[in-house]
Amino acid sequence: MSTSLVIDTATARTIVGLVRDGDVIWQGFHDGATDHGNAVADLVKQALAAGVNPDRVVVGMGPGPFTGLRVGISFARAFAAARNIEVVGICSLDAIVVDLDEYTVAIDARRKEIYWATYKSGNRIEGPAVNFPADVDGYIIDRYPDLTRMVELSVGANYTEPFYLRRPDAVATADRT
């Protein structure tokens, strides 16, 4: 019996859950694009209060804003290292469930842009990418990664690096023009 602590901070919503063999034992979320740091720790504390110890961590690797992703990924890696358990990264867009054969999902990338990917029969066929909304046809937005789908994806994938699709805002003084 495998129990996964699931964490995603790729969107404005911090999502945490415990999934055991495909069943959600506990789930919670907190809305707030700038509050991932406080929210992820509080939500994991609540999840662990359910009395179940995870034997692995599944974390969304984006795409998403730099700081939000770093918070979730760093927390997941530190939690896993402290407990000597596996951490598995998945593409957050891949975990958004849509009941269509062909579709494009998107999440807010801020700066009037979206992160998006296109799927056919549940498989990503294009993306992830970042564009202005007007440049992407027929996308579905305002949906969030699904906990059980994240765990399902973790069986066949393990992304070790975040999906950063644009340069960071912060630039070293020496690199400024």
**CATH number of the structural domain spanning residue 23:** 3.30.420.40
Q: Is residue 79 part of a domain?
A: yes
Whether pTM > 0.85 for this model: the answer is yes
Residue 138 within a domain: no
pLDDT of residue 129: 97
Average pLDDT over residues 117-140: 96
The closest alpha carbon to 26, from 50, 59, 2, 58, belongs to 50
Report if residue 40 sits inside a domain: yes
Residue 171 clears pLDDT 70, i.e. is over it:
no
Report pLDDT for 8.
98
* Cis? peptide before 133, omega within 30° of 0: no
Instruction: Tell me if residue 43 falls in helix, strand or coil.
Output: helix
Which domain, by its residues, includes 43? 3-95+145-167
Q: Is residue 139, in this structure, part of any structural domain at all?
A: no
High-pLDDT (> 70) share of the chain, %: 95
